[in-house]
Structure 1
């Protein structure tokens, strides 16, 4: 009832043309089974197509967790090392100009301790511009804090760098490499930025993302692949045949561009619930899930979300830890004091989450759309809408 009451109040306050329920999907899972528990609203308001648990959606920052899985698969294969200077993989020197002697590693990138900043939305790099050119801009760096364990600053650009590393060591475009390393082995009908990996059914089932105003934000595909799956070049061209892997890992959205249905996202959760067995080695799984950074009196925390509002209190490799923080933490989305691992997502009116209680081996994958950027918080640092979704899904 809480979610329905909240949605009703938002609808009454909205303009008439925007009075449409958001699309909301939740899927519960454990180590053996996946169970859809909620599917409400429309995936396409124009045609009236209902959203389902099999409707892929741009899942936002949960993409970071999946990108990290690609890195860790290459670590297990001996092709990458979490603590090696990534300059060795990129083929050019990556340094914070204010800290030229401090190397940047995959560990620092994946745990948001690299000192890279987004510079607004400069992590979105169009075709024809290289990652090297973009990170040469002063706005992309924290001039006060260098790359080191202990200073956390959430930044999307870390993941295009990691994606460029993946491309350099595999010789494949990021979307293709992720299909081979992660999506296909986990049997996911998913893809990054509608690139390689998604089936024809996925395009027909796509969830259109709407803003709270009712306008289309992303993915009005009309059942067809987009003409250009990346941000086109400045002249509007989109010739990916000339692209050389490693030049621009941002193209396919490693930080937020994964399109995936909740039934498939739950399979990622099941892999986590099984301790990575059959997919990751025990060693890399421990690195993935342990707190690489944790808030505290002697720890730094800045960035888009930062430590100050209690949203991020512990972070692994591309993975959030919630519910077990200390003083000042407001990350207990579920309100039950139980520690969980996974990741949240927020972009284009969407709020999403993949959360696992590792002790119980149970979790939830969910999203809800058309959420205002300034949506009210609940009792935690998450929005009241997200809290209401997990409350209803858990019944």
Structure 2
């Protein structure tokens, strides 16, 4: 099955909003053996939407459109779909009753704009949206399957996974059998990953291939099988070989995030964790608590940005701050010691650095970061020398900190 993805919104074309919907859809469609042919971003103009549908329908088995389904005046997707289908709009009483009941429940006032939202093109199948008021819409036109989804990411994902995916499985009988396996690594670059698995890649049978998807401090290794070798036993055989070759750099598979893997190892080992952050400003703790169930092991954290906070809350000695500075090995050691003492956690991590773009010196340039992690009986430290991009420095330090904690418990 060949598919095209269309994202609607002037805010995307103006660079005011990053399109994450098409990336997510492409990834999930690929998992279902759907081949993505086009990804297109267009304006909110009705004629542009219709023109795009007409252009793509001749070469696509499936078109997914996101955006333009809300109650505001610039949400014109439904009108464009009706024009493309050469049909009229009708008022959907069922949808109106659901919206009315929802607004009464939460105490909001139903507006005329929300009433207008209940006008839909005749001939479409309404797909339930339990995350918002705009429904998904599905129909076929001259052999092409067309799905329209809200642009709000969490609504779009819910409809796709819960209302459309079962339908997709029933209509997707046009493609070559395809399977994917993803191995997630951290603390190793793409080039070194490739070097470690080169011998395995050379022995892959026909139809199997490996791709690398690098990120900040992480690399995803995607194994793909097409055709006669798209079988679970073949995939598991080579996934195991690749995993063994990559060793401790592997932290998870498929959609497992590093923060999930971190929670899994802490819970499995029955250990608790606390964090002391300066330059990351709470980002490590934020990643940790983004995973449901993190309260099983995470006690809490301290964001001690100033020297005074480091002294008061973490017990860092004033002499250390004066003589060695806030960004030093001794400072993060004392931050860690104070954290473990005050929190009672089994394990802790402390970070202090110069995220940038200002604040650096010849001795400690922007991107200098010190980390300390461990327990009362075993401490480790590491110095990072990163670049000048503040956000990247914070995100990379967060990844390194979580990975050091993971490895600390797995060795």
Range class of TM-score, shorter chain: under 0.3
TM-score, length basis structure 2: 0.23
Considering fraction of residues, name the structure with more strand. 2
Considering fraction of residues, name the structure with more helix. 2
The higher-RCO structure (CA 8 Å, 6+ apart) is 1
Larger-gyration structure (1/2): 2
